[in-house]
C-alpha cells in the first residue's frame, strides 16, 4: 500500500480527533524514523517526550521482550516480581517514599487529584466536599472530563460539560494571584514546572520556589506535573530542580515507558500516598510486570547514558544556534534542555509541513509555536543538520501566506 491509501483508510474509519502530518511511519531507530516509501526523517517531537531514550532502544527492547516471554499481567490481585523492584528504583532515583503506578498520564493526574483531596479531608481537615485544587491558566494535564474542567482552552472543554467544580484558576507565573486564591479549603496547587502544550513556557525565575514556600506556609500540597518535562527532557531529571524545591507530589509518565509501553506514576511520601486504603483506587493494568520491567530498563538508560546531562548541554547548544536565525516571523526562542519553542507571528503548521518535506518532523502547538523536542540521544552533528533545515525554512518566507509549505522535497538524510 502507498501513503495515500493508508491516509484514506485512517480518514474513513478513524475518529478525527487528531490532525497529523500526512506521513505514514513504519520504522524507528534512535532519532530517525522511516516512512513506508523508504524516506528517513529526523524526529524532533519524540512522541511528546515518550521516547526520550530514542526509538526502539535495544536495552529497553531486551527487557521488554524478555519479560513478555515470562509474564505480562496478573492484575494487582496478586503480587509480581517486577513491581517492587520498580518501586525501589524510583525511590533510589527520586527520594520519594512511595509510588502509585498507573498507565496514562491522564490517569496519573486523576490519581494525584484523588490523593490530595483525600489528604485534604483526612489529614488537613477540610470540610467534606469543599476541597479545592488550584491550577494554572494555560495548563495541560490531560483530557479526562475532570481534567478538562480546569483547562482554560475552550476547544478542550467545548461540548463536554457539565464540568467538575473545585479547581480555581490562577495566572501562570503570577505569585500574587496564587497568594490571593489560597484559602482554608485549598488542598493543593497543581502546576507544570514548564508548560508544554501551551508552547514551552518557562515561568519567571523564583516563581516555583515562592509558590512552594507559599504552599508549605499554608499547609497546601505542591503538586508538580512532570509528565512531559520530567526524566531529562528539560535538562534536569525534573524541571522543578531549577528552583531547588521538592514538591510534595510528582506526576511522571511518557518516558517512563521508554516508548514501549504506557506507564505513569504518582510519587510522594507516606503522609500523602499513605491515605489510600485497599479498594480506594486501582487499575487492572497499573503496575503490571511488563510495564514495571520496561520502566526499570527505561530509567537505567536515562542514568547510564547520561541523558539528563546530554539534554542540558545539547539543549543549550541548539538554542544558542537557533537564536542566531534572523527571520521577520521568528519572535522568540525559549525553552530548557532539549525542549524548545520557536514562537512565530503567524500559524506554525505550514512551517512544520515544510520541515517534513526537508526530512525533519516536528509539530505545532497553540497555533503559532513550533515545538522542538528530539530524543535525548540526538548528536551534535544531527542538531547541526536540523538547524540548517530550520534556518532554511524560517528564512525562506517573505509573506504571511504560509507558502513555505509548497517547498519541494529537497533534502533527505540517509
Measure the CA–CA gap between 270 and 257, rounded to whole angstroms.
24
Q: Which of 168, 175, 129, 132 is nearest to 150 (CA)?
A: 168
Measure the CA–CA gap between 377 and 54, rounded to whole angstroms.
6
Asked if residues 363 and 45 have their Cβ atoms less than 8 Å apart, the reply is: yes
Measure the CA–CA gap between 140 and 151, rounded to whole angstroms.
7
Output phi, psi for 189, to 5 deg.
Answer: -115, 115
Output phi, psi for 159, to 5 deg.
Answer: 85, 0
Decide: helix, strand or coil at residue 193: coil
- Give the number of other CB atoms < 10 A from CB of residue 218: 13
Measure the CA–CA gap between 140 and 197, rounded to whole angstroms.
6
Q: Which residues belong to the active site?
A: 140, 225, 254
Measure the CA–CA gap between 350 and 344, rounded to whole angstroms.
11
SS3 content of the chain, % helix, strand, coil (to 5): 40, 15, 45
Q: What is the 3-state secondary structure (H, E, C) of 102-134?
A: ECCHHHHHHHHHHHHHHHHHHHHCCCCCCCEEE
Amino acid at each position: 500500500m502507498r501513503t495515500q491509501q493508508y491516509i484514506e483508510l485512517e480518514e474513513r474509519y478513524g475518529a478525527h480527533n487528531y490532525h497529523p502530518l500526512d506521513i505514514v511511519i513504519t520504522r524507528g531507530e534512535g532519532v530517525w524514523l522511516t516512512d513506508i516509501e523508504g524516506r528517513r526523517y529526523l524526529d524532533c517531537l519524540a512522541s511528546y517526550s515518550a521516547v526520550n531514550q530514542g526509538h526502539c532502544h535495544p536495552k529497553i527492547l531486551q527487557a521488554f521482550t524478555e519479560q513478555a516471554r515470562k509474564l505480562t499481567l496478573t492484575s494487582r490481585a496478586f503480587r509480581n516480581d517486577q513491581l517492587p523492584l520498580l518501586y525501589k528504583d524510583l525511590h533510589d532515583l527520586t527520594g520519594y517514599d512511595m509510588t502509585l503506578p498507573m498507565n496514562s498520564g491522564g490517569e496519573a493526574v486523576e490519581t494525584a487529584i484523588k490523593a490530595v483531596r483525600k489528604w485534604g479531608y483526612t489529614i488537613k481537615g477540610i470540610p467534606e466536599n469543599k476541597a479545592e485544587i488550584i491550577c494554572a491558566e494555560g495548563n495541560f494535564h490531560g483530557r479526562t472530563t475532570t481534567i478538562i474542567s480546569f483547562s482554560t482552552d475552550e476547544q478542550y472543554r467545548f461540548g463536554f460539560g457539565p464540568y467538575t467544580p473545585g479547581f480555581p484558576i490562577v495566572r501562570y507565573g503570577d505569585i500574587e494571584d496564587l497568594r490571593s486564591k489560597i484559602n482554608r479549603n485549598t488542598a493543593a496547587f497543581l502546576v507544570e514546572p514548564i508548560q508544554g502544550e501551551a508552547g514551552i513556557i518557562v515561568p519567571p525565575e523564583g516563581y516555583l520556589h515562592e509558590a512552594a514556600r507559599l504552599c508549605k506556609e499554608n499547609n497546601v500540597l505542591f503538586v508538580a506535573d512532570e509528565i512531559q518535562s520530567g526524566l531529562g527532557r528539560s535538562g534536569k531529571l525534573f524541571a522543578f530542580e531549577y528552583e531547588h524545591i521538592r514538591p510534595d507530589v510528582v506526576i511522571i509518565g511518557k518516558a517512563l515507558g521508554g516508548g514501549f509501553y504506557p506507564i505513569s506514576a504518582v510519587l510522594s511520601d507516606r503522609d500523602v500516598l499513605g491515605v489510600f486504603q485497599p479498594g480506594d483506587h486501582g487499575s487492572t493494568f497499573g503496575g503490571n510486570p511488563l510495564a514495571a520491567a520496561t520502566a526499570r530498563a527505561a530509567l537505567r538508560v536515562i542514568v547510564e547514558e547520561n541523558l539528563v546531562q546530554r539534554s542540558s548541554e545539547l539543549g543549550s547548544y541548539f538554542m544558542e544556534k537557533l537564536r542566531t536565525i534572523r527571520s521577520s516571523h521568528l519572535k522568540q526562542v525559549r525553552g530548557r534542555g532539549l525542549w524548545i519553542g520557536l514562537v512565530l507571528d503567524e500559524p506554525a503548521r505550514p512551517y512544520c509541513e515544510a520541515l517534513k518535506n526537508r526530512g525533519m518532523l516536528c509539530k505545532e502547538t497553540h497555533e503559532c509555536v513550533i515545538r522542538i523536542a528530539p530524543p535525548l540521544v540526538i548528536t551534535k552533528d544531527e542538531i547541526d543538520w536540523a538547524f540548517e533545515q530550520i534556518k532554511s525554512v524560517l528564512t525562506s518566507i517573505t509573506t504571511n501566506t504560509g507558502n513555505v509549505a509548497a517547498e519541494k522535497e529537497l533534502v533527505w538524510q540517509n
